[in-house]
Structures are given as structure tokens and as C-alpha cells.
Amino acid sequence: MLDIKQFNPGIKTVISIASIIFASILAFYLLVIYWPQSSPYESVEINIPKGVTLSEISNILKEEKILSNKRTFTMAVKSMGHEKNIPAGRYILHNAQYNKEIINQLVYGIPSLKKITVLEGWTVNDIANELYKTLKINKNNFLKLCHDIRMVQLFNLQGNSFEGYLFPDTYTFAEGVDSKLVITRMVNEFNNNFSTSMKYQAQELGMSILEIITLASIIEGEAIYDSERSIISAVYHNRLKKGMRLQADPTIQYIIDDGPRRLLNKDLKIESSYNTYLNSGLPPGPINNPGKESIIAALYPSENEYLYFVARGDGYHTFTDNEKDHNKAKRKFQEVRRKVKQNKKKIIFEGK
């Protein structure tokens, strides 16, 4: 009778086989993740779009000549467990000669950031255009979010849109960043700059934060020099107290389709809740995103009795407290405008 023990390979044999299998797997793993690629660059910038598959990422890297072997790259990504961990964004890869280096830089690297400067007085439309130009963010999606009342309410803001609350500053974002993140950053910056003391001052004036930002946006549209902001603010505060219409030109620029340009009499008759020539009080919301200086001016107007102001032609304004002197200042400005127009014609004529 045969002894079954003679067919038992023994523990040592099993361990030996297991070790060989483990070593083979380990060798294969190391071979794949350290497989050399033929990238000719010391550094190269690439863009990984949203929603792409691992296969599509491999194709992008192949087209950019970063990969010579797509198959080993795909296997390496899967072996390292990063098949779904490569985020969208624009990246700069440095010395990407092996699969592991490429994968780690894509998974753990910081996306290449770009600067965007939002200027004082820009509207949400202006910001949308700049975001598309610099970061390739979809304009329509951004504007849709800017006018999403439910999202505005999530930030505990007053009003029906984010107009006025996207604080002017220089920001850094990755290309293709989510519009919600952009809005969040800019609103957070607004909240950081609108201090508790400012909120108390608004209450002292009997105005809501929305009304302060709305007035600040009008001041932003009128003033070129900081030294005049508080004076312009006082004019509007004085008119509001007297129940006079603000008759603010920037509110008309906001509602015309082809602005900014010289306003015509017919523009002042446009039916709109933002038309401060037809309607009393402040418009229903901000007409742009004002800077901090204009917000401070809206909160702290200078003390004066001015009710009118008109441009002088040099960026500054003439302020008056009665209509007679105001009309005189207007005639003086019109004369300046005529002289400028004549000089332009003269230059054109002499140039010919």
C-alpha cells in the first residue's frame, strides 16, 4: 500500500513556490512602474481635461511625446491604484523619465496656477470674459451661477446675484477650475474686507449691506481719483435724504447694450429699474463690483451740501450745491469738449 506522505510536497516546497510567485509579481510590479519612457523634456506643461479616462490621458501624454509606451504606463497606474486619482488641471512635469515619476507628479503634483486680476468696477460679465480668456472657464456656466439666487442665499448675501460681491483683487487658479470655487474665493475675499465695523457703520446710516454696495458701485463708476470718492458719496447721500433722483450716469451705462459710450438723451428714458433718471432711490442692486475705497466712501461720505457734480475734462469734477451753478459748470465742460473735438479734427487734417 502506498504511503500518502510521499506525495506531500512539504512546507518548505510550498514556501519556495510562494516565494517564487511573490518575487515574480514584485519583479513585474517594479518593472512596470520603473519602465523608462522617452520624454525629451526637462520640464513640460500638459493639460488634463475634466472627465477623461485613463486611456485618454495616455493618449494625451503620447501625443506630447512624454510616453513611448502607453501600455506600461496604463499598467503602472493601475498597479499603483491611481486609475481614478489623476485630477484634471494643467501640470508642469519635471524630469518625467519613468512611469512612477510621471504618475506621482500627476497624482500628487500641484496644478500649474495662473493669475487673474479683477479690476475695480468690473461687472460679472467682465469677470466672465477674463476667466474664459485666462482660465478657459465656460462663460455661460459662470454667469448662470452668478445669477443663481439659491447659491447667493447659501452665502447669506443680500440681493439676487453675486454682482457687487466678487471682490476686486489678484487671484491664482488652476486652468479649468470649477466656477463655484472661483465665486467662493471672491466672495470670501469680500467678506474678509467688509469688516464688522463697516457693518455697524451701515446700520448707523440706516442702510443695508446691499444698499451700501450698490451705492459703492455707483461711486466706482463715477470716480477716477480716490480723493473724490467721499465727495461723490456725499452728493448721493444728500440727494437721497432730499428725495431727489440720483441721476447717476453709470446706472445708464449698466443697462445699455453697447456701453460704455457717451450717453444720449434717449438713453436716459430707457425703462429699467436701474435707471436712476426715471426712478427715485438706489437701483435694486450693484451695477459692478466696487473696490474697497469706494465701499469706504459709501460708508463714510464727506460732510458737504453738494447736490450736483459734472466732469471737468481732466478726470476730476466740479461740485455745486445749486442747479444754477451746476448748469454753469456743465456749459464750461461742454466748451472743453468742443475744444478737444476741434483739436482732434485739426490733428487729423494736418496729418493728411
Task: Please list, in sequence order, all residues whose beta carbon lies within 8 angstroms of the beta carbon of residue 255, skipping any fewer than 6 positions away.
Answer: 270, 272, 274, 275
Mind spelling out the 3-state secondary structure of 71-102?
HHHHHHHHHCCCCCCCCCEEEEEECCCEHHHH
What integer pLDDT is reported at residue 23 of this predicted model? 67
H-only helix segments in 194-314: 196-204, 209-222, 226-242, 249-255, 292-299
Q: Three-class SS of residue 257?
A: coil
Return the SS3 of 329. Answer: helix
Residue 315 phi/psi, 5-degree rounding, is: 95, -20
**In angstroms, rounded to a whole number, what is the distance separating the alpha carbons of residues 255 and 261?**
12
pTM score, whole prediction: 0.76
Helices 99-108/70-79 angle, 10° precision: 60
Q: Are strands 89-94 and 43-48 parallel, antiparallel or unpaired?
A: antiparallel
How far is it, in rounded angstroms, from Cα 206 to Cα 252?
26
Structural domains of the chain, with CATH: 1-111 (3.30.1490.480), 128-193 (no CATH), 207-306 (no CATH)
Residue 344 pLDDT: 63
Query: Residue 347: what pLDDT?
Result: 55
Give pLDDT, residue 3.
Answer: 54
Q: Distance between CA 9 and CA 210 in Å, rounded?
A: 84
Rg (CA), the chain: 32
Other Cβ atoms within 10 Å of 50 Cβ, number: 9
- How many CB atoms are closer than 10 A to CB 305? 11
* Residue with the three cell numbers 517594479: 30
Q: For the chain (length 352 residues), average pLDDT per consecutive 10?
A: 54 72 68 79 83 90 89 89 84 84 85 90 98 93 97 96 98 88 97 97 98 98 97 98 97 94 94 97 98 98 97 94 95 85 59 40
3-state SS record for 291-327: CHHHHHHHHCCCCCCCCEEEECCCCCEEEECCHHHHH
Give the cell for residue 3.
Answer: 504511503
Alpha carbons 130 and 186: distance in angstroms, whole number: 14
Q: Which helix (H) or strand (E) holds 147?
A: none
